[in-house]
Amino acid sequence: MADITISAFKWVPPFAQGLVRDLRVRWALEEAGLPYRTRLLGPGDNKSADYRNWQPFEQVPAFREAGGCELFESGAIVYHIAQRSEALGPRDAEGQARMVTWMFAALNTIEPYVSNLATIDLFCPNEAWAKERRPAVVEMLLGRLRTLSAQLEGREYLENRFTAADLLMTTVLRGLRHTDIVKGFPVLETYRLRCEARPAFGKALADQMSVFAQNTPAAA
């Protein structure tokens, strides 16, 4: 029986399906070969006192292991899993440190720019301020992606093998799937597709999407 439980939403709108951050944890667990169960949250379940004791910001995923280890924040959870599995990262201290550097780069240097654009495009597309702000947001994002593309030129992964850093970076780049921006960087598009071709990613995505399919709200 699995001794790991993660939280996930029963359903989200189509634009968010395949992007909810429990995908990161599912993918890491699949790469590590660690079985897990899911605690599915329906409307309002994430606001209960019980869940807020586990995830104070009412988000997913949260993570629990038999024996009492409880975590939240997808990056921290992925790092915890990577520490347990050579499939997700090197064992030497220098290799681990470089992996962590790229994990922080994905979440702190690239993702905020991706999130800014997604907020404008998906939540506020008709707002005057969003239309005015969007060109500058795109330009700042392109600057980050140019640097990332240059770092990946001639490389298959961020380091000399697939690690948890590539897992996080790929999920960050997927946040731009509503645009053609990543396709404008052939190096990044090839990198994203290479990572998404991993069997563990396919399994994780299929498992997340099957939950949404099973819990699609009935038409009004």
Confidence at residue 67, expressed as pLDDT on a 0 to 100 scale: 83
Alpha-carbon distances of 179 from 61, 82, 109, 137, 211, rounded to whole Å = 25, 31, 19, 13, 25
Among residues 115, 104, 124, the alpha carbon closest in space to that of 19 is found at 115
Instruction: Locate the domains of the chain by residue range.
Output: 4-87+200-213, 90-198
pLDDT in single tens digits along all 220 residues of the chain: 469 999 999 999 999 999 999 999 999 999 999 999 999 999 999 999 999 999 999 999 999 998 879 999 999 999 999 999 999 999 999 999 999 999 999 999 999 999 999 999 999 999 999 999 999 999 999 999 999 999 999 999 999 999 999 999 999 999 999 999 999 999 999 999 999 999 999 999 999 999 999 999 975 4
Give the pLDDT confidence score for residue 220 in this predicted structure.
Answer: 41
The architecture (CATH level 2) of 4-87+200-213 comes to: 3-Layer(aba) Sandwich (3.40)
> Nearest to residue 203, comparing CAs of 32, 3, 5, 14?
32
Tokens read off for 118: 């997604």
The CATH classification of domain 90-198, taken from the options 3.30.1180.10, 3.40.50.880, 3.40.50.720, 1.20.1050.10 = 1.20.1050.10
Enter the pTM of the model.
0.96
d(CA 219, CA 207): 23
Q: Is 195 exposed, middle or buried (0-12, 13-18, 19+ CB in 10 A)?
A: buried
* Per-residue model confidence as pLDDT tens digits over 190-209: 999 999 999 999 999 999 99
pLDDT tens-digit profile of 94-123? Answer: 999 999 999 999 999 999 999 999 999 999
Partners of 65 in beta bridges: 4
